[in-house]
Amino acid sequence: MPSLKSAFVELSFDGLRLRTTVKEKDLDPVWNETFYFNISESSHLDKLRLDAYVYHSVKPTYFKTKSFLGKIRIPVDSLSTYSDDPATDFLLEKRGIFSHVRGELTLKVYVTGGPEPSNMSSSTPIAAVVAPLPSRDPGLAQEQLMTQGISNPATQNAEEAETRNTSHRLPNPSHHEDQPRQRPAAPPFSTKDDTYGFALKETSPNLGGGQVVAGRFINGPKTASAYDLDERMDILYVKVVNARDLPSSGVTGSLNPFVEVKAGNYKGTTKHFEKQKNPVWNQVFAFSKERMQMRELEVLIKHKDPSQADYIVGYVNFPLHVVPTIVPPESPLEPKWYPLEGQRVRRSKGEVMLAVWYGTQADTAFSEAWHSDAVPLNSSLIDSTVIRSKIYHAPRLWYVRVNIIEAQDLFVREDDDLPNAFVKLKMGNQVLRTKPVQDQNLNPIWNEEFLFVMTDDPFPDLVLSVEHRVGSKDTLIGSSLIKLHDVQMRVDDRSIPSRWFNLEKSSVTDHPDDATNEVLLQESNSADDTFSSRVHLRICTEGGYHVFDESAYYSSDFRPTAEQLRRPSIGVLELGILGAVGIQPIKARDDRGTADTYCVAKYGDKWVRTKTIVDNLSPKYNEQYNWEVFDPATVLTVGVFDNSELLSKVHGGSNNNNSGNYYKHQSIGRVRIRISTLEVDRVYRHSYPLVALHPSGVKKNGELHLAFRFSCPSLLNRLYIYSQPLLPKMHYVSPISVAELDRLRFQAVNLVSLWLARDELPLRKEVVEYMCDVNSQLFSVRRSKANFFRVMSTLSGLFALFKWFSEICMWKNPIMTVLVHVLFFMLVRFPQLIFPTFFIYLFLTGLWNFRFRPLYPPHISTGLSHAELVHPDELDEEFDPFPTNWAPDIVTMRYDRLRTFAGRIQTVAGDVAVYGERIQALLSWRDSLATALFVTFCFVAAFVFYFTPIHVVAALAWLLIMMPPRFRRSWPSGPINFFRRLPARGDSLL
């Protein structure tokens, strides 16, 4: 609050207003006053709210006696029912567009049904202890307000709220009301109290690059090979290459050798070989140095005996104090031969080739190694290939355009009716059909165009068949197999020559239940009839489009498929996945809740997967990855999943939540990071709440700790990108409809999931679909309401302006009215000042908002998503599978149709909100470069319009708007491209 203010607080609840005493000229006013409000009907809690207004007491004047300093609004049904909860700081909100508000108000608010003071007569009072405090960090306050959402009053920690069964948290069945409540310990990464359960928090991990001050490493620039966005992990590496001249088994004479590496209580084993005296393992084991409590390392070669216990063939001991330390870019340690020692004799026959060294996660052997911190103690049941990290590259996707023009000389039997012919196209699991056409000359014309999605490795085949529909049966007339690797590829909108394809009459029908087809074809072949039917096509593969496998707003790439059309990269995005805390148990193991978690990050066609940390609710990954950035208006997606394949591999287990899908990997939460909202070369270190929506409400499944940085060496490249079209030019020259893009996107996700599932360590289909948000277009009442209120929020400034002007007209503030009259008549007298004044106002507003620019990247806001107080019936509808399985066939058809139409309306409402929010982003410094460009433009434009006569400006504007079509380009102009790259609040939607 401003200094020398005499503040007081006015509380309003259910028509009753109470106020505190006035603290004269106090910068830190403290009241400690208690107020009780009666609740007449507890069933109406969801409709009640507590409003707290902070005012400055002004000495009585002719105009007013108080001035507004801020307000807060708290829905009553979100309040705690525990009187021992601590007081909470609430950020003061603005009342209008011109309000200047700073500060926090400390309240202790709770609902109770117990006895009340003797002077009260209600059975359900609300107690509030009020103590306003000044804002400690205005920038932080503004960011917390944005991440929390205007309608989010929740002040309890997520884990704490789960034990209380509040209206927006799930109750934890393992906790009971009679058990003492314990406040959870602060996460090891956190530096601030978790005031808001779903808020983004800044952390201060001990990164490998050194100490970070103001988002920069203070020890100078990093080296290219350093893993400076991870916490350094000291690791003992043991590389077991092979063995030679091993002794034979004493009983059978054969040897089934395998290696067991023991480091204290941790041990890792290689696979065993049948009857091999010179086995080759070539496997690396990694042991965390901080967990080692021994002085030497043991490498044992054992014999695998299926009939009895395994026994030791020989061993090698390594004193840890002599193990060398190798840190990249030093050369890796070369393995050496070590003689084996025996249990009974000092020297055993055989040698083993080993390499033992200390390193970090920057070592090249880290990604392929078996990790001791990824598995439980003394567990050798888990295959290291299932839990290791992995980098994937998605396939290159192409559009295939097929134009079915006509057919010629279709062959039908004489006793058949006039054919109702149509063409069916099949590529993999994609099947499309033309409309049936009747033609007396057996030369039907369709002239229909279709699009398919394909990968180029390998090229698929397109199966074309012409069929004849008789009643409810389809009879095959002829088919043709088209090899797509022979099809012409284009990168622009030039015309592709058409071709005639001959139809072949086959005895194999596509309809197994239609035996008549097969009999007729066999009769025709036996008679040696000439089959000369053919079909006229225009077919090509499109390289000028970008094939979407993500939502367009959340897309991580906009480059065209063709390599020759792609622009060079403008920078590098580096991501350090540090760890997670507070992961909610996903399954049961040894009569306790646990989770086997891993992270997946997607940007462009590069997917990464961290190692799986088994049986740990606070896993540490400490892995770093980087991507080339080609456009700042792109989004990095990071998801956390539970590896359900390990459910029964460690001490046994049972999946209580997924009995129907035993091995389905469950999603825990995800994080989206928009590149344009990041400052260049700034190190961001934050704890992201993993927020998920369940049929019973919104829930926090834990927190993911990330460190990331966007590096862009050339400012000119970024400026150039802002003037270029967001999508490839083919999307504007020959656009694809929204409905068609949705269908093609669904097919693209299927192809990507099939491709990634064929890898040695497969990325599951459910993981790919969750990362690509494949169901984002389905209708949801909650999303529709959220988009509607986003539109209303963007229009609130316009409404406030109209209200302010109405007050000016009504002379509610005479001084302001006089000033507006003076300004109006001055602009009428000097019209050349209109545009300079307007742009100077925007310029000054942008500079003023710089001090309130967001300090944190945007993240999911449960208030903005309308996920906290959503009705259970709306959640049930949102989680209802598509198509629905609720009702009979007619109701199902109508309900699905309604959801489809409503989904389109929902998308349109979201698009409208995006446009309004991008206008707000011009001066909000969410995208710092874009705001700087716009503010600079306003400053220059102010001078240009000042020296340019207004009639010249009007004439040029008219000519520009009325420009003939022949002088227009097919793709958007630079200002439109700049506008489409601006961020919106869609990043914060759940």
The pair of structure tokens assigned to 254 is 């054969």
- Give Cα 407 to chain centroid, integer Å: 47
Cα–Cα distance between 374 and 613 in angstroms, integer? Answer: 4
Q: Where residue 751 falls among pLDDT bands split at 50, 70, 90?
A: very high
Phi and psi (nearest 5°) for 740? -70, -40
Same domain as 439, residue 538: yes
Decide: 664 and 652 in contact? Cβ < 8 Å. Answer: no
DSSP 410: -
Provide the mean pLDDT of the chain.
78
Alpha carbon dihedral 808, 810, 813, 818, in 10-degree steps, equals 60
Instruction: Please enumerate in sequence order all residues whose Cβ is within 8 A of that of 805, keeping only pairs 6 or more positions apart, or say none.
Output: none
Q: Please report which helix (H) or strand (E) contains residue 739, including its range.
A: helix 738-757
| Number of C-beta neighbours around residue 303 at 10 A | 22
DSSP 123: S
**CATH code: domain of residue 312:** 2.60.40.150
Q: Where residue 86 falls among pLDDT bands split at 50, 70, 90?
A: confident
Same domain as 404, residue 536: yes
Q: What is the pLDDT of residue 132?
A: 43
Burial (Cβ within 10 Å: 0-12, 13-18, ≥19) of residue 180: exposed
**Any domain includes 842:** yes
**Any domain includes 286:** yes
**The last residue of a domain, from among 375, 393, 411:** 393
Q: What is the pLDDT of residue 662?
A: 53
**Any domain includes 500:** yes
Q: Where residue 563 falls among pLDDT bands split at 50, 70, 90?
A: very high
**Any domain includes 843:** yes
Please give the single-letter amino acid code of residue 231.
E
Highest mean pLDDT among 174-188, 404-418, 800-814, 948-962: 800-814
pLDDT one-digit tens code per residue, 954-989: 778 777 777 777 777 777 888 888 888 888 888 888
| Number of C-beta neighbours around residue 242 at 10 A | 17
- Residue in the block written with tokens 């991580």: 556
The whole-number average pLDDT for the span 222-233 is 68
Phi and psi (nearest 5°) for 934? -70, -40
pLDDT one-digit tens code per residue, 591-621: 888 898 999 999 999 999 998 888 889 999 9
The pair of structure tokens assigned to 146 is 């944005």
Pairing of strands 280-288, 370-371: parallel
pLDDT one-digit tens code per residue, 864-901: 888 877 777 777 777 877 777 676 776 676 677 677 76
The pair of structure tokens assigned to 827 is 């602009």
Range(s) of the domain holding residue 317:
234-360+363-393
527 has a pLDDT exceeding 60: no
The whole-number average pLDDT for the span 318-347 is 79
Same domain as 455, residue 401: yes
Same domain as 369, residue 414: no
Q: Where residue 253 falls among pLDDT bands split at 50, 70, 90?
A: low
The whole-number average pLDDT for the span 779-798 is 84
**Any domain includes 296:** yes
Q: What is the pLDDT of residue 347?
A: 57
Cα–Cα distance between 639 and 625 in angstroms, integer? Answer: 14
Q: What is the pLDDT of residue 565?
A: 92
Cα–Cα distance between 638 and 601 in angstroms, integer? Answer: 4
Q: What angle do CA 890, 896, 902 make, to 5 degrees?
A: 135
pLDDT one-digit tens code per residue, 364-385: 888 788 888 777 655 555 666 6
Same domain as 973, residue 832: yes
Task: Point out the least confidently predicted range of 283-297, 582-596, 656-670.
Answer: 656-670
pLDDT one-digit tens code per residue, 10-28: 998 887 888 888 888 777 7
DSSP 245: S
**The last residue of a domain, from among 371, 393, 415:** 393
Nearest by Cα to 44 from 72, 16, 77: 77
Same domain as 948, residue 874: yes
163 has a pLDDT exceeding 50: no
- Residue in the block written with tokens 């090249």: 364
Q: Is the peptide bond before 965 cis (omega within 30 degrees of 0)?
A: no
Pairing of strands 257-263, 499-502: unpaired
Decide: 201 and 686 in contact? Cβ < 8 Å. Answer: yes
Phi and psi (nearest 5°) for 54? -105, 125
% of the chain beyond a pLDDT of 70: 80
Decide: 299 and 354 in contact? Cβ < 8 Å. Answer: yes
The answer to whether the Cα torsion of 647, 650, 652, 653 is positive or negative is negative
Cα–Cα distance between 554 and 546 in angstroms, integer? Answer: 14
The whole-number average pLDDT for the span 754-775 is 91
Q: What is the pLDDT of residue 519?
A: 36
Highest mean pLDDT among 49-53, 402-406, 455-459, 827-831: 402-406
Q: What is the pLDDT of residue 99?
A: 67
Nearest by Cα to 865 from 781, 944, 803, 797: 781
DSSP 484: G
pLDDT one-digit tens code per residue, 900-928: 767 877 888 888 888 888 998 898 898 88
Q: What is the pLDDT of residue 346?
A: 53
Q: Among the residues of 412-499, which ranges form H helices?
A: none
Q: What is the pLDDT of residue 606?
A: 94
Same domain as 373, residue 242: yes
The pair of structure tokens assigned to 744 is 């093609």
Q: What is the pLDDT of residue 661?
A: 44
Decide: 6 and 24 in contact? Cβ < 8 Å. Answer: yes
Same domain as 747, residue 683: yes
The pair of structure tokens assigned to 480 is 């043709």
The whole-number average pLDDT for the span 720-725 is 92
Same domain as 693, residue 571: yes
Cα–Cα distance between 736 and 207 in angstroms, integer? Answer: 46
Query: What is the three-class DSSP state of 865?
Result: coil
Burial (Cβ within 10 Å: 0-12, 13-18, ≥19) of residue 65: exposed
Q: For residues 334 and 167, which has the higher predicted lDDT (pLDDT)?
A: 334
pLDDT one-digit tens code per residue, 89-139: 788 887 766 667 778 888 888 887 644 333 333 333 444 444 444 443 333
144 has a pLDDT exceeding 70: no
Q: Where residue 779 falls among pLDDT bands split at 50, 70, 90?
A: confident
Decide: 194 and 582 in contact? Cβ < 8 Å. Answer: no
Q: What is the pLDDT of residue 169?
A: 30
**Any domain includes 803:** yes
Q: How many domains does the chain have?
A: 5
Q: What is the pLDDT of residue 2?
A: 44
Q: Where residue 37 falls among pLDDT bands split at 50, 70, 90?
A: confident
Pairing of strands 635-642, 666-674: antiparallel
Q: For residues 114 and 161, which has the higher predicted lDDT (pLDDT)?
A: 114
Instruction: Please enumerate in sequence order all residues whose Cβ is within 8 A of that of 471, keeping only pairs 6 or more positions apart, or say none.
Output: none
Same domain as 856, residue 728: no
Cα–Cα distance between 933 and 925 in angstroms, integer? Answer: 11
Cα–Cα distance between 499 and 963 in angstroms, integer? Answer: 40
Cα–Cα distance between 871 and 385 in angstroms, integer? Answer: 44
**Any domain includes 613:** yes
Task: Point out the least confidently predicted range of 150-154, 393-397, 705-709, 937-941.
Answer: 150-154
pLDDT one-digit tens code per residue, 52-81: 988 888 765 445 578 888 888 888 777 776
pTM more than 0.85: no
**Any domain includes 458:** yes
Q: What is the pLDDT of residue 158?
A: 34
The pair of structure tokens assigned to 303 is 């014999």
Same domain as 410, residue 329: no
Q: What is the pLDDT of residue 383?
A: 64
412 has a pLDDT exceeding 50: yes
Decide: 261 and 302 in contact? Cβ < 8 Å. Answer: no
**The last residue of a domain, from among 88, 107, 126:** 107
Same domain as 813, residue 955: yes
Q: What is the pLDDT of residue 514?
A: 43
Question: CA dist 333 to 324, 467, 666, Å?
Answer: 9, 67, 40
The whole-number average pLDDT for the span 762-789 is 87
Q: What is the pLDDT of residue 122?
A: 35
Q: Please report which helix (H) or strand (E) contains residue 587, including its range.
A: strand 587-589
Q: For residues 674 and 149, which has the higher predicted lDDT (pLDDT)?
A: 674
Query: What is the three-class DSSP state of 784?
Result: helix
Q: Where residue 725 falls among pLDDT bands split at 50, 70, 90?
A: very high
Q: What angle do CA 475, 481, 482 make, to 5 degrees?
A: 135
Cα–Cα distance between 719 and 928 in angstroms, integer? Answer: 12
